[in-house]
Structure 1
Amino acid sequence: MKRGLRALLTATTVLAVIATPAAAIAVPAKPDRAELQSGLDEVVAVSAVGALAEVRDEQGVWRSTSGVAERGTTRPVAVNNRFRAGSITKTFLATVVLQLADEDRLRLDDTVGAWLPGVVPNGHRITVRHLLNHTSGVPDYRPTLILPPEPGFLENRWRTWTAAELIQRAVATPPTFQPPGSAFAYSNTNYLLLGQIVEKATRHSYGEEIERRVIRPLHLHGTSMPGTDRKIRGPHLNGYVPIRYNDNEAPQLVDFTAMNPSLFGAGGELISTTKDLNRFFKALLTGDLLPPHLLDEMKTPGTKNGTYGLGLAWRDTTCGPRIYGNDGDAVSYQSYAFTTEDGHHQAAIALTPDFRTNPDKTVDKLLDKAFCP
């Protein structure tokens, strides 16, 4: 799902002077990372229980954390903590779809109707490309569900949702716009449909294909597709949702770490780490996963002046460089991972929101600090 996120490995400025018979030689020092740490601390102060980040640049790797991993405890966030990565799953799935296109097992201009007859109204006009770049007009299933802060949201935390069930809920409402390709509207349903198409094309689940084609080849040891597994295996942050039990009282944060991730499915079930997300986006943007022409397709916006291509988003930093990646909202977790086009400069951030404010603006400031030192 879309939109959503970090104390202990800060680097300080060190000047090393090596004495030689001829002269003292100053060795270039790593930059002071205090600004990054203050930015991460601000994210927690404004909008999160805990947060972690990894920044990679020409000066090396900076990993750090802030806040706590679990409310009501002093358990610190660890730099290797796992989290639900939400819509960053979409970039992994889009990579698989484009690999299948490269293998001529599907085409970007294939229609949904050809792959999934009768599943989507107007499916004969909606293409795989429209699904990837959110220009299909297929409604999002998320607004059809009971969502926080409604207490009823918790009643479904263990429920297994099928993709067919969620798609059916979405298409029971009118299209967001028509004709397909004429506008942009973010819809998680698009990626449920892509997951089904991948399964038809390969005869394997989309999760198996992501594991086989991306996770294992890149040795992403902290990354998994959990399916219906309710737990986050290994070290992780606890996540929370706001629930209002009484109309006259403020919402209470309820632990939502364990839940059935079929709620997110092909559009958001991924569990990962900041290190793994940086490794994935570097491999993607430097051509290890896709040939150049398909990577170019991925970077092409679906609408004029858009900032979302085929499962890949981008933004321009205040200092100039464009950064590519995605962000993810998994209800109780939010994550952000962006990389420069050459793969030399990266930042991945994850947090457990406390819902006092939207963390996006504070995270944007931190990303600017990471890419514009």
Structure 2
Amino acid sequence: MQRVRRALATATVVLIMGSAGAAAATADGSGRAGPQQRLDEVVDHGSVGGLALVRTPHDAWRGTSGVSKLGSDRPVPGNSRFRAGSITKTFLATVVLQLTAEGKLGLEDSVESWLPGVVPGGEGITLRQLMNHTSGVPDYRPTIPLPPSQEFLDNRERTWTAAELIARAVTQPPTSDPPGKTFSYSNTNYLLLGQIVEKATGHSYAEEIERRLIRPLHLRDTTMPGTSVEIPGPHPHGYAPLVRDGESEMTLVDFTRMNPSLFGASGEIISTAPDLDAFFRALLGGRLLPAHLLKEMERPAVEGHAYGLGLAWRDTPCHVRVYGNDGDAVSYQSWSYVSADTRRGVTIALTPNHSANSDTAVGSYIDAAICGDR
């Protein structure tokens, strides 16, 4: 464990799987610092370690910064795997849209038609609204123990079922009435989509992601771990915050091993920077979906929110729009974006120390990576 002198109020900013969309931009993309120096600065801002991949039309750069484990001087492995959190949502959304193209699902299908009695008012909620977070179905996160509580850490190896988490979520009032009007990010939406994929195919959402995306794209270092607590292959250690009773200081606890059923269809995937970059290149390059469904994926859910059907985007200072997603799996944070023409991409993953919010620093990194070599 590592003692970090932070107040309880700071510790409580940690949220499972985060919110949709990229960090706000602050850099103009014209700085002279190279990708390694910028990565060092991002890690120094609030992480134990980090890694990045930056791809331009001319070449690709990969680097690491910080250490793999607190208390050691071992560098982060260059071929590290990490928990990619909500980037799972883009994989699952792609599968749902492939099933739509095959006529097995419809974007305007109701939740009730696939999962009778599971969601109150489900007859008025569509698959489209689940995918773009306008369903009004509440997030399950407020109903479970969260960092920095000891109870959260005590549950690290607990298996949560999607049905259990959904049942917890719907005890809360809806966040949009009627559905379709308000953007409200909810991990429960994707737990429901995972169950619907199983109903439509007879296979789990994880099996469909593996069969349709991971294997065809040769994403050899990407896995759907299910209930396995391990991260296979080389990886940095990740940490969760803990505040003990009667104390005001936060302690970092190794949270590398954990049961990802806590995230399930909304965020369980484990991957690498090259694999995520390859997935988003294939998606944006039109290799995974018909053009009209890719356009649907890119369409904003609600004006002012850079989020469509499981896909987020950001506009860089050099007027290049990039598409992708970000993920927060408590002890690992990641961002992966690719330009619409697929010629540029950036993926960054961090093991946060929970002393500061890295969104702004990462947003600047993404802008510089996309705009710096033009």
After TM superposition, the score normalised by the length of structure 2 is 0.91
The residue identity in structure 1 corresponding to 2:101 is D
Please name the residue that 1:349 is paired with.
348
Distance 2:143 2:160 in 1: 13
Please name the residue that 2:174 is paired with.
175
Shift of 1:288: 0.5
Please name the residue that 2:3 is paired with.
none
The residue identity in structure 2 corresponding to 1:44 is V
Please name the residue that 1:197 is paired with.
196
- Equivalent pair of 1:35/1:369 in contact (CA under 8 Å): no
Distance 1:137 1:2 in 2: 18
- Equivalent pair of 2:19/2:185 in contact (CA under 8 Å): no
The residue identity in structure 2 corresponding to 1:351 is L
Unpaired runs of 5+ residues, structure 2, are 1-16, 21-30
Please name the residue that 2:18 is paired with.
2
Map Cα deviations across residues 89-138 of structure 1 (whole Å, 9 max, x no partner).
00000000000000000100000000000000000000000000000000
Please name the residue that 2:27 is paired with.
none
Q: In structure 2, the residue corresponding to 1:161 is in which secondary structure? A: coil
Distance 1:190 1:90 in 2: 10
Distance 1:250 1:372 in 2: 40
- Aligned residue pairs total 347
The residue identity in structure 1 corresponding to 2:296 is E
Shift of 1:34: 4.7
Distance 1:33 1:213 in 2: 41
- Equivalent pair of 1:240/1:256 in contact (CA under 8 Å): yes
Distance 1:305 1:165 in 2: 33
Q: In structure 2, the residue corresponding to 1:137 is in which secondary structure? A: coil
Shift of 1:318: 1.1
Unpaired runs of 5+ residues, structure 1, are 5-31
Superposition map of 1:229-240 within 5 A: 229-240=228-239
Distance 2:276 2:126 in 1: 28
Map Cα deviations across residues 45-82 of structure 1 (whole Å, 9 max, x no partner).
11100000001111201000000111111111122100
Distance 2:310 2:284 in 1: 13
Distance 2:364 2:34 in 1: 11
Distance 2:320 2:127 in 1: 30
Moved more, 130-139 or 74-83: 74-83
Alpha-carbon spacing, 1:303–1:357, altered in 2? closer, same or farther (3 Å): same
Distance 2:159 2:209 in 1: 20
Please name the residue that 2:336 is paired with.
337
Superposition map of 1:115-194 within 5 A: 115-194=114-193
Map Cα deviations across residues 146-169 of structure 1 (whole Å, 9 max, x no partner).
111111111111110000000000
Alpha-carbon spacing, 1:91–1:225, altered in 2? closer, same or farther (3 Å): same
Distance 2:318 2:311 in 1: 21
Distance 1:239 1:123 in 2: 38
Superposition map of 1:277-356 within 5 A: 277-356=276-355
- Equivalent pair of 2:334/2:347 in contact (CA under 8 Å): yes
Distance 1:79 1:193 in 2: 35
Please name the residue that 1:276 is paired with.
275
The residue identity in structure 1 corresponding to 2:18 is K
Map Cα deviations across residues 192-237 of structure 1 (whole Å, 9 max, x no partner).
0000000000000000000000000000011000000110010011
Distance 1:341 1:88 in 2: 18
Please name the residue that 2:76 is paired with.
77
Distance 2:126 2:248 in 1: 47
Distance 2:346 2:175 in 1: 34
The residue identity in structure 2 corresponding to 1:265 is G
Shift of 1:33: 8.5
Q: In structure 1, the residue corresponding to 2:124 is in which secondary structure? A: coil
The residue identity in structure 2 corresponding to 1:80 is N
Please name the residue that 1:19 is paired with.
none
Q: In structure 2, the residue corresponding to 1:124 is in which secondary structure? A: helix
- Equivalent pair of 2:333/2:352 in contact (CA under 8 Å): yes
Superposition map of 1:45-64 within 5 A: 45-64=44-63
Q: Which has the larger radius of gyration?
A: 1
The residue identity in structure 2 corresponding to 1:280 is F
Q: After the TM superposition, list the runs of 4 or more consecutive aligned residues in structure 1 that deviate by more than 6 angstroms.
A: none
Supply the RMSD in Å over aligned alpha carbons.
1.4
